[in-house]
Structures are given as structure tokens and as C-alpha cells.
């Protein structure tokens, strides 16, 4: 699966540039999460700090599905002066069979000043107008899901007026 280039991605024909095989992306889950009121800490040395609780949601995928565990999930954000959001997202998922997954995603959401201002106002913005990506780690004690502990994952995300969507892929 090849992702479409985003407006802020570097330009150029990158496929086949190196001698090793290009990575493959395998879908793991699609998560739609609801958000609570942000806790605004204000301006700190690194930027404008806020904590956004993930209050619920569900995820579905080819091998796992279930729900987001509220109270154990939030995004610790730093907003830079240009509106770029740096995220340290930590959330807990519970599969339909009761297994718990701890997910930590470090990411960035950036775009033009106009698009970031619309997002900041809570407007619906087409996700093709900005870039929202994370490098994701997943941990679990479930033996049947041990492959998650050993994977490298990336997520493509979108901010909605009342929530966020993460589509997470195993890099192979």
C-alpha cells in the first residue's frame, strides 16, 4: 500500500532510490476516539502545553477489535508558535476478547497556517489538507498478540471536531 503524498511532504521520486526493499504497510486497526476538554497548561519553554483526554471510542482491524479505555488515555501536546502540534499520545485499548494493549504514539500534525487555524477553531478539515502522522509502539501481555510487541508501527491520523481517527499499520 502506497500513501498519497501530502502537501508538506518533500517532493521527489523516492521509490527504488535505495537498494533494499521498500517497506510494506499492513493495516492493524482503525481507531475512532472521542475527546474531552483539554487541560491547558499554557506557554512553557517548549511551546504551548495541553493535555487532551481520549474519553472513549472503538477500533476495528483484520485481527483485533475492541474499545478505547477511558481514564487511561490522553494526548500530551505541545503546540509550536506556527501551530504545529507535537503529540505524545498514550492510550489503552481493550480487545473484544479482553486483552489490553498499551499504545504510545509520538507524532506531528502540521500544515499551512490557514489550515492549522481552522483545526484550532474545531472546524472539520479534510485530512488531505494537512499531515498528521505518528510513530507508534504497542505492548501487550497477551501471548496470542505477542507479534504486536515486536512490531514497528506508523499511524496516519485525522482530527475531527469532536474526536480523532488513527489508522495504524505494521511496517514490514
The model's pTM: 0.88
Domains (ranges, CATH) in the chain? 25-171 (2.40.160.20)
SS3 16: coil
Cβ atoms of residues 107 and 135 within 8 Å: yes
Q: How many Å apart are CA 147 and CA 123, to the nearest integer?
A: 38
Nearest-angstrom CA–CA distance, 28 and 64: 8
**What are residue 113's phi and psi, to 5 degrees?**
-60, -40
Q: For 146-168, what is each residue's pLDDT tens digit?
A: 999 999 999 999 999 889 999 99
CA distances (Å), origin 172, targets 22, 25, 124, 168: 9, 6, 33, 13
- Condensed to tens digits (0 to 9), the pLDDT of residues 40-91 reads 999 999 999 999 999 999 999 999 999 999 999 999 999 999 999 999 999 9
* Nine cell digits for residue 88: 505524545
Amino acid at each position: 500500500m502506497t500513501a498519497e503524498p501530502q502537501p508538506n511532504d518533500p517532493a521527489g521520486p523516492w521509490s527504488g532510490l535505495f537498494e533494499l526493499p521498500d517497506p510494506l504497510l499492513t493495516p492493524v486497526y482503525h481507531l475512532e476516539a472521542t475527546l474531552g476538554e483539554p487541560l491547558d497548561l499554557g506557554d512553557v519553554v517548549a511551546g504551548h502545553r495541553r493535555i487532551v483526554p481520549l474519553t472513549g471510542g472503538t477500533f476495528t482491524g483484520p485481527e483485533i477489535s475492541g474499545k478505547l479505555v477511558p481514564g487511561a488515555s490522553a494526548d500530551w501536546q505541545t503546540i509550536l508558535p506556527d501551530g504545529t502540534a507535537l503529540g505524545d499520545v498514550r492510550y489503552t485499548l481493550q480487545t473484544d476478547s479482553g486483552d489490553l494493549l498499551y499504545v504510545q504514539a509520538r507524532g506531528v500534525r502540521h500544515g499551512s497556517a490557514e489550515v492549522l487555524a481552522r483545526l484550532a477553531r474545531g472546524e472539520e478539515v479534510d485530512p488531505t489538507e494537512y499531515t498528521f502522522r505518528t510513530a507508534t509502539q504497542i505492548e501487550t501481555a497477551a501471548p496470542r498478540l505477542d507479534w504486536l510487541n515486536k512490531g514497528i508501527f506508523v499511524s496516519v491520523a485525522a482530527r475531527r471536531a469532536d474526536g480523532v481517527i488513527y489508522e495504524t499499520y505494521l511496517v514490514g
